[in-house]
Amino acid sequence: MALRAAFEKWSLDAPLVGAVIVLALFGVAMIYSAGQLEVPSSVTYGIWKKQLVWLLLALMAFTVVARVPVRWFEWAAWPAYGLALVLLGLTVVMGSGQGTAQGVRSWLSFAGLQFQPSEFAKLATILALARLLSARQDLPATLRELIAPALIVGLPLGLVILQPDLGTALVFVAILFAGLYWAGAPIGMLALLASPGAGLILSFDARVFAAYIVLLVGFVYLYRYRLYLIETVAVILANLAAGTVAEPLWNSLEPYQRARLLVFLDPGADPKGAGWHLIQSQVAIGSGGLLGKGFTLGTQKRYAFLPEQHTDFIFSVVGEELGFLGTLITVLAFAFILRRLVRMAELAPEPFAGLVLFGIFGAWFAHVLINVGMTIGFLPITGLPLTFLSYGGSFLLMSFMALAISVRVATGD
C-alpha cells in the first residue's frame, strides 16, 4: 500500500513543465520546417513525425518517473553511474557515428534502435555527484577534497573524449563545476581547479603563457592561506604540464576538429570547407532581420546551404524564419526554464535535491550556451544539439527524464 501511495503522488511544477512542453512542440515545428527543401532530402524528409513520436514517448516516461519516490533516485545513483560507464566503454570500442559526425563513435545499436549512451551518462553522473557531495558533513575547503568529485565526472568525461565528442565533454565539465559550486566550494578554489584548462588554451603563445604563469603564481600566493604546500605545487605543475602537452594534444585532434577551431578565429580562411557551417549559419540568422522570412520560407534552409539544420543548427533556422524576435523569445524561454531550476534548487528540501537540480541546470545551460554561441560565431563549432529543439530521440527522452527527476526531487517526498 505504501508503494502504491508513493506512485500515486503526482509531482508537477506547472510553469516549468508547461514551458518545456511548449518549447518541445516548437522544436517539432522547426524540425518540420527544416525538412521543407526545394530538393527533398531523405535525411530530413518526414523526421518531424519521428520527433513527435519520441516526444510522446518522452511524455510517457516523464509521467512514470515523476511519480518515483525520491529515495529511489538516491539508491539508483551508483548503479546508474556504473551502467553509464559500461555503456560509454562499449561505445568507445564498438560504437558508430550518425549523420555527418566525422569520426565520432557516440552511438550504440540495440534491437535495431540507435541510442546515445552519453545522454544517459550525463544524468547518471549528476545523480552520482549529488549523492557524493550531499553525503559530506562540511563544505569543500581544499583542493584535495575536490579530487573525488573530479574523478566521478572525469571518468565518463574521459570516455566521451575518446569517442571523440568534445562538445559533450564540455557538458560534463559544466556538470562538475555546477555541482561543486552548489556544494559550497569557494570560487577561488574552483578557479584553481579550472586553471590547467586556461593554461592549455593560453599556451598558443609562449609570451602569453609566461605572463599567465606569473599571474597564476601571484594568485596562488594571495590564496595561500587556503592551500597546502602540496596543493600549491600541484596547481603550478598542472598548468606547466598543460602548456607542455598543448602541441601534442593539438596534433592528436582529428583534422576536422583542428579546422573547426581555426575557422572560429577566421571563418574566411576556408569559406567552402571548414568555415562553411559558420558562414552559412551567420548568413541565415542575419538575413532573418527583425521578423524573419516566414515559417518554412528560409532560403538558406530551403536550398540546403545551411548544414545540419535539423540538429546542431536548428537555432539558425529559427533566426532565418522568425527573425530576431523569434530568437529572442526562444532565448527568453530557455532563460525562464533555467531560472526556474535555480529557484527550485534554492527551495529544495535537502542537499541531494538541490545538487541534482543545479546539476541539471549546469548541463542544460551548457547546451544552450554552446549551441547558440556556435551558431552566431561566439564559440567554436562543437556539434552540440539545442535542448528540446534539436532533432534526436535519445536526447529528447533523457531531457524529459531529467525534467521528471527535477520536479520529483523538488518535492522531497
State the pairing for strand pair 108-110/113-115: antiparallel
Residue 270 and residue 193: Cα distance in Å, rounded?
A: 35
Q: Report the pLDDT value the prediction gives residue 224, as an integer from 0 to 100.
A: 64
Residue 347 and residue 217: Cα distance in Å, rounded?
A: 39
Q: How many CB atoms within 10 Å of residue 314?
A: 25
Q: Report the pLDDT value the prediction gives residue 138, as an integer from 0 to 100.
A: 80
3-state secondary structure of 110: strand
Is the whole model's pTM more than 0.85, yes or no?
Answer: yes
User: Pick the residue with more confidence: 80 or 258?
Assistant: 80
Structure confidence by residue, pLDDT tens digits, 77-98: 999 999 999 999 999 888 776 6
Question: Which residues are registered as beta bridge partners of 109?
Answer: 114
Structure confidence by residue, pLDDT tens digits, 30-63: 999 988 887 777 677 889 999 999 999 999 999 9
CA 236 from centroid of its chain's CA atoms: 29
Q: Report the pLDDT value the prediction gives residue 315, as an integer from 0 to 100.
A: 95
Q: Report the pLDDT value the prediction gives residue 285, as an integer from 0 to 100.
A: 92
Question: Which residues are registered as beta bridge partners of 113?
Answer: 110
Question: Which residues are registered as beta bridge partners of 96?
Answer: 107
Give the CA diameter of the chain: 69
Is residue 70 within 8 Å of 409, Cβ to Cβ?
A: yes
Q: Report the pLDDT value the prediction gives residue 8, as an integer from 0 to 100.
A: 44
Asked if the model's pLDDT at residue 9 lies above 70, the reply is: no
All three cell numbers of 9: 503522488
Q: Describe the crossing of helices 351-375 and 166-182 by its angle, rounded to 10 degrees.
A: 140
C-alpha dihedral (362, 367, 372, 378), degrees to nearest 10: 70
Give the model's confidence band at 205: pLDDT under 50 very low, under 70 low, under 90 confident, else very high: confident
Mean per-residue pLDDT over the chain, rounded:
86
Radius of gyration of the chain (CA): 22
CA 77 from centroid of its chain's CA atoms: 20
Q: What is the mean pLDDT of residues 93-117?
A: 72
**Among the ranges given (127-136, 319-328, 375-384), the one the predictor scored with the smallest mean pLDDT:** 375-384
- List the domain boundaries for the chain: 10-182+255-407
3-state secondary structure of 152: helix
Give the model's confidence band at 7: pLDDT under 50 very low, under 70 low, under 90 confident, else very high: very low
